[in-house]
Chain A
Amino acid sequence: QKEVEQDPGPLSVPEGAIVSLNCTYSNSAFQYFMWYRQYSRKGPELLMYTYSSGNKEDGRFTAQVDKSSKYISLFIRDSQPSDSATYLCALGRLGANSKLTFGKGITLSVRP
């Protein structure tokens, strides 16, 4: 079983839709949870960062973490065509030489 699984997509929604992106993980040692957004032909950029179970909101974006079930979600409200991008989850843990573990990413297209 891979450490991090992300829905493969792609996902296409109409403008204004609520989008839910999900990742599951198997290692309970993960303590830090991130979402990156990557526009076409650009590098990933950090979108959301959290380290506790529950919800974290930033504008139209909400990151949700459920450590007991080992899944994380990113919700996008009132989606816009400018949200069209690839979204990657990333998980981190403490420890010598530990590195982030990334999901494979899901490509979202928001249709006008």
Chain B
Amino acid sequence: DAGITQSPRHKVTETGTPVTLRCHQTENHRYMYWYRQDPGHGLRLIHYSYGVKDTDKGEVSDGYSVSRSKTEDFLLTLESATSSQTSVYFCAISDSQGSGGYTFGSGTRLTVV
């Protein structure tokens, strides 16, 4: 999607290994979000950021950490991947919080075997 890219697009990893997903934006938006999407659960917020080095937990943050050292990059790390973290991960950006729409990336399909 224009202005936001996620990498990698697909990844297969083994249980117990660390994994880092990257979200990069060129829109200079303040807010960035990581979601996971699973059948029957919809989009669930993992972590979000409201500025450089300012991050907070979402509803499903256990087993995940994030970092944002630059406005344009928001990294999601699975510290020790488990099969329950097999999912599609979406990054989103916004220039406002509750009142604005989000722009989503194309997603990362992660499989933990």
Give me the interface of A with B, judged by CB distance under 8 Å. 31-32, 34, 41-46, 49, 51, 88, 90, 92-95, 97-100, 102-105
Contact = CB atoms under 8 A, between A and B. Distances in A.
A99 B104 contact: no
Nearest 5 Cβ contacts at the A-B interface:
A98-B98, A104-B42, A43-B104, A92-B98, A46-B101
Given A44-B104, A102-B42, A104-B42, A97 B90 contact: no
B50 interface: yes
Interface of B: 1, 33, 40-43, 45, 48, 50, 56, 58, 90, 92, 97-107, 109
Contacts of A32: 98-100
21 contacts: A32-B100, A42-B106, A43-B92, A43-B105, A45-B104, A46-B101, A46-B102, A49-B101, A51-B99, A88-B43, A92-B97, A94-B98, A97-B56, A98-B98, A99-B33, A99-B48, A99-B58, A100-B98, A100-B102, A104-B40, A104-B41
A46 B42 contact: no
